Structure 1
């Protein structure tokens, strides 16, 4: 009877654990195996080819560009989404009469489909689109750009759209964290002569660490796994200027290079794991120490 009581909690999680193993662990293990093969659509026999696929990844200019773009997208969006998220959360945590309406407005882009966002932004970002015309109308014609067709800035344009879409979601998490901080701390800081900035640095940020931890992990993993934003807005173009790992994986599978595509997917999994696990460990320790 004692044994059955101890195992009761495990019985409850067993169905979810089986589903997780079946649809995540098993495909990951199988994919890891196939990433070391020459698995292709035009070959009947699958042969082990060692590190050939990974050597191709690190010697092919297009694949290296995709890796670079993925890192750029992850870094820019992690910073942008979290900075704007905190700023919006702090601003809308004040006693504004329209704060609930503003919260809804800033949060609403995060529930939109990327397809809808693409339909809205693509005409606006053309050379003769609304954004360039707006710059010209206020005397800032030098800022006009070919936002989605200039190889030098296209990935940054996609980053900006992603930040616009998701910053409201990060804002909601930061708002929940801010509302859990007792007001007594701020009152005591005010009595001690601390201004708004010192209160923010020494009270808000330390007590907001759990929310920061969650948002950093969500935005980092989402940034490294980017696919839909690039695929819908640019298709990896112009040329290959905005290719990311996700679009390269899809292209490899579409061309029948399944072994190479699986190797790219395995590499992405390893990179996400190597970055996110130490970061999570560091943030958890920081959160406990605070």
Structure 2
């Protein structure tokens, strides 16, 4: 009887665990197997080819460019979304009369569909679009760029659009963290002669670490798994200049190279896991020490 009681909590999670295993774990294991094969649409017999698909990932120039673009996108968006998110949260945590209205304005882009975002930004980012016309109007025509057709800046443009769309979501999480910090800490710091920056550095940031941890994980994993923004804004173009790992997976499956597609997907999974878990452990330790 004691054994059954001790296992009672596990009985409750078995149904969910079974569903998760059937629909997520099992397909992942099958996909791992097929990533070591020459599985293609035009072949009836699947052959084991070892690490050939993975060797191709690190020797094919297009795949290398996709990996590079994925890391650029992830790094830029992690920094942009979190820095701007904290700045907006701190600003809108002040006693402004319009703070609720401004919170809604800054948060609203995060609830929009990526398709809607592309419809709005694509004409704005053209060479003759609104952004370049604005620069010309204020006498800064030298800043005009071919935002979506210049291979050297296109991935940065997509990252900027993603930052614009999702920063409000990060802001909301930081706002929740800020509102849980007692005002007494700041009053005591003011009495001790601490300025605004010192209070932010010594009080706000340490107590905001749980929210920072959450946002870092969300933005990092989202950045490494980027697909929608690139797909709707550029389709991986011009040429292959804005290809990312997600679009390469789609293209591989679309071309019938299913073995290669599963290999790239497996690499993405391993990359996200190997980067996010150590960072999560590090941030959790920081929370404890602070």
- Choose 5-14 or 36-45, whichever is displaced more: 5-14
- Choose 22-31 or 250-259, whichever is displaced more: 22-31
* Residue 271 (structure 1) aligns with: 271
* Residue 221 (structure 1) aligns with: 221
1:201-248 per-position Cα deviation (integer Å, ceiling 9, x unaligned): 000000000000000000000000000000000000000000000000
Within 5 Å, give how 1:186-201 maps onto structure 2. Answer: 186-201=186-201
**Distance in 2 between residues matched to 1:210 and 1:18, nearest whole Å:** 31
Within 5 Å, give how 1:67-146 maps onto structure 2. Answer: 67-146=67-146
1:39-76 per-position Cα deviation (integer Å, ceiling 9, x unaligned): 00011000100010011111100000000000000000
**Distance in 1 between residues matched to 2:23 and 2:172, nearest whole Å:** 30
| Pair 1:184 & 2:167 matched | no
* Residue 28 (structure 1) aligns with: 28
**Distance in 1 between residues matched to 2:170 and 2:134, nearest whole Å:** 29
TM-score, normalization by structure 2? 0.99
* Residue 153 (structure 2) aligns with: 153
Cα distance, 1:199 vs structure 2: 0.3
Give the aligned CA root-mean-square deviation in angstroms: 0.6
Structure 1 residue runs without a partner (length 5+): none
- Choose 210-219 or 4-13, whichever is displaced more: 4-13
- Choose 67-76 or 2-11, whichever is displaced more: 2-11
* Residue 13 (structure 2) aligns with: 13
**Distance in 1 between residues matched to 2:222 and 2:107, nearest whole Å:** 18
Aligned positions, number: 290
**Distance in 1 between residues matched to 2:209 and 2:255, nearest whole Å:** 45
Consecutive aligned runs of 4 or more in structure 1 exceeding 6 Å deviation: none
* Residue 206 (structure 1) aligns with: 206
1:142-167 per-position Cα deviation (integer Å, ceiling 9, x unaligned): 00000000000000000000000000
1:109-131 per-position Cα deviation (integer Å, ceiling 9, x unaligned): 00000000000000000100000
1:50-109 per-position Cα deviation (integer Å, ceiling 9, x unaligned): 010011111100000000000000000000000010000000000001111110110000
Cα distance, 1:4 vs structure 2: 2.0
